[in-house]
């Protein structure tokens, strides 16, 4: 059993490496094949499933259509954004979703939640991706490093997530696309808070794009392109 687990993990990491590519100026990391492989890779990478579980089942054919659709969304996002990492992850329904991570050091000054001009330019370009894919729901999560305490970090990360959402809305992204806008403080680090480099990686804003009920309905009907 141990050997099988090791082989499975090895195959998954090889799949990640084999699928890694570069589109435009944004980094695009693909998870490759079907939902099962996507779920395994999501767990290895520490990705948190986003979105709410739907009431009805999604057939394999519909899941494949959504997967191909989200591949296109990821490619478009990677081509549009600079200073951000684009990944394909798995949502709460086991469907492919897109995660875009912006470094908060680029978006904000230390201990601030006001967007600078460079950040506004990047988000304005990214807003075209969201508007072009109005059938995607959006979650935005702000994160901080472990400096300070929750009394400081949670409000700060909330304010940063809200600043990003408000600016995207001002660029014409529909309010109805946004589902969750919240800050998580320092509770979900992706790097070692004991180093300056790690703390910088942990100061970030993540934007998730995932299938809305309308997209799932279109996929079940076979009309999703």
pLDDT at residue number 115: 93
pLDDT at residue number 110: 77
Chunked into runs of 10 residues, the chain (225 residues) has average pLDDT values of: 42 39 39 36 47 74 94 95 91 93 84 90 96 97 91 94 97 97 94 91 93 92 90
Residue 191 DSSP class:
S
Residue 10 DSSP class:
H
Residue 206 DSSP class:
E
Alpha-carbon distance of 40 to 32, in angstroms, equals: 11
pLDDT at residue number 48: 56
98: number of Cβ within 10 Å: 26
Torsion sign across C-alpha atoms 165, 168, 170, 172: negative
Cα dihedral angle (123, 162, 28, 199), rounded to 10 degrees? Answer: 110
pTM for this entry: 0.79
pLDDT at residue number 224: 92
pLDDT at residue number 55: 63
User: Among 205, 195, 115, which Cα is nearest to 158's?
Assistant: 205
CB 195 within 8 A of CB 137: no
Tokens of 66: 């959504």
User: Among 169, 141, 138, which Cα is nearest to 156's?
Assistant: 141
3: number of Cβ within 10 Å: 7
Alpha-carbon distance of 23 to 20, in angstroms, equals: 10
Alpha-carbon distance of 125 to 173, in angstroms, equals: 12
C-alpha 8, offset from chain centre: 25
Alpha-carbon distance of 199 to 208, in angstroms, equals: 22
Which burial class, exposed, middle or buried, applies to 120 when counting CB atoms under 10 A from its CB (0-12, 13-18, 19+)? middle
Torsion sign across C-alpha atoms 156, 118, 177, 191: negative
Tokens 């890694």 label which residue? 20
């Amino acid at each position: 059993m141990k050997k099988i687990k090791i082989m499975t993990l090895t195959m998954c990491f090889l799949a990640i490496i084999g699928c890694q590519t570069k589109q435009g100026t944004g980094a695009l990391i693909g998870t490759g094949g079907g939902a099962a492989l996507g779920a395994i890779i999501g767990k290895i990478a520490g990705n948190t499933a986003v979105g709410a579980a739907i009431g009805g089942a999604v057939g394999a054919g519909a899941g494949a259509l959504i997967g191909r659709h989200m591949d296109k969304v990821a490619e478009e996002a990677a081509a549009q954004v600079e200073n951000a990492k684009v990944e394909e992850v798995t949502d709460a329904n086991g469907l492919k979703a897109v995660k875009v991570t912006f470094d908060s050091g680029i978006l904000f000054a230390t201990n601030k939640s006001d967007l600078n001009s460079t950040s506004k330019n990047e988000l304005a370009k990214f807003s075209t991706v969201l508007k072009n894919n109005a059938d995607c729901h959006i979650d935005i999560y702000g994160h901080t490093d472990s400096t300070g305490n929750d009394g400081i970090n949670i409000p700060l990360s909330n304010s940063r997530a809200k600043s990003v959402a408000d600016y995207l809305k001002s660029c014409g992204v529909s309010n109805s696309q946004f589902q969750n806008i919240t800050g998580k403080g320092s509770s979900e680090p992706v790097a070692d808070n004991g180093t300056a480099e790690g703390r910088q990686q942990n100061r970030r804003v993540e934007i998730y794009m995932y299938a809305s009920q309308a997209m799932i309905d279109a996929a079940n009907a076979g009309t999703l392109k």
